[in-house]
Amino acid sequence: MSRGAGFLPIYTDTENPVGLVATQRVAILGYGAQGRAHALNLRDSGVDVKIGLYATSPSIALAQQEGFEVCSVAECTQNSDVLAFMLPDEVHAKVYAQEVAPFLKSGQNLVFAHGFSVYFKHIQAPEGVGVILVAPKGPGHALRASYQQGSGLFALIALEQDNCQRNGRDLALSYAMAIGSGRVGILETTFKHEACSDLFGEQVVLCGGLKSLLEKAFEVLVEAGYPAELAYFECVHEIKLIADLLYTEGLARMQEHISNTAEYGGLVSGEKIVDKQTKMRMQEVLRAIESGDFSHAFMQEAQQNYPSLRAHRQALQDQLLEQIGARLRAHLFKA
């Protein structure tokens, strides 16, 4: 464990990466990208793992092909010590109510890779059942690939409710180490902080703010008479170059790798685009997340079969930016 003054401690363990979780029967509910990565990494670390899926799941064949026993979620609940929810957030409550809650026993632990369902109270486990968080900071394919390369992804752990054996925190740490996160670092947090910061980052930066920023920048150049191809390269394509520098070097060191022109331009123009008013709107987004307003709206969207999402996906396909991007990517990334 390492700790800096005023910073969260970072837990690592490269010599004993399994521990408590190796004594548990673990069921991974769902076999998408995240569930598959957890299952394979846990098994490779010596953990007894089975997969819980519904009878017509298209993932059954792959899970069986990769050597896992596949059971119904109800069967997994009755015959496992640890149940790891690797299903989409919006189906957690239904699966929990129908196939988990009726069979839960004191002493079992529920594991979540995202705090959404627990913090917003879509799932409330009975007393005596542990509720823990193990959230790798990256997608499933990266979690698996990094493990196979002898490394891992940073992970967040949290304990919302301990079980009757009072081993929830130890289990969270052990589970995180078994999926490879102990090789790089594990941070302890809360369900609220993980759920709300994750949603905020997605909405304000990664999947919302960045997307809207590049769309508007592309439109400004095209509407001013610049070729769409140039607008795409300048506003979209080169994002990866900067993102890679930020990822490996940090914000300050990134500045050392760009031209003086670019650095000065960012200095004089950045605050004009993302100003105090933008920050206030970010704060509004965070309040909507923390209050549960976003969670409520999202669950309604899911119950109606995602009409807004489906319309948005089609609109993205139809816009000029995506059409130009598809044409240029066909040349850039030829097999």
Containing H/E element for 186? strand 186-188
Cβ neighbours of residue 251 under 8 Å, at least 6 residues apart? Answer: none
Q: What are 278's strand-pairing partners?
A: none
Structure tokens at 70: 């596949």
Element (H, E) at 135: strand 130-136
| Backbone φ and ψ of 160, nearest 5° | -90, -40
The answer to whether residues 227 and 321 touch, using CB atoms and an 8 Å cutoff, is no
Q: In whole angstroms, how far apart are CA 56 and each of 61, 65, 72, 77?
A: 10, 16, 10, 19
* Phi, psi (deg, nearest 5) at residue 217: -65, -40
Please say if 237 is a catalytic residue.
Answer: no
Of the residues 114, 257, 296, 312, only one is catalytic, namely 114
Q: Give the strand order in the sheet containing 109-112.
A: 70-71, 48-52, 25-29, 82-85, 109-112, 130-136, 155-161, 186-188
Residue 185's CB is within 10 A of a number of other CB atoms, namely 19
Structure tokens at 106: 């004191």
Angle at 289 between CA 127 and CA 158, to 5 degrees: 40
What lies within 8 Å, CB to CB, of 8 at 6+ separation is 187, 188, 189
Q: Nearest CA to 105 among 86, 124, 81, 122?
A: 81
* Contact partners, residue 291, CB within 8 Å, separation at least 6: none
Which sequence positions are flagged as catalytic? 114
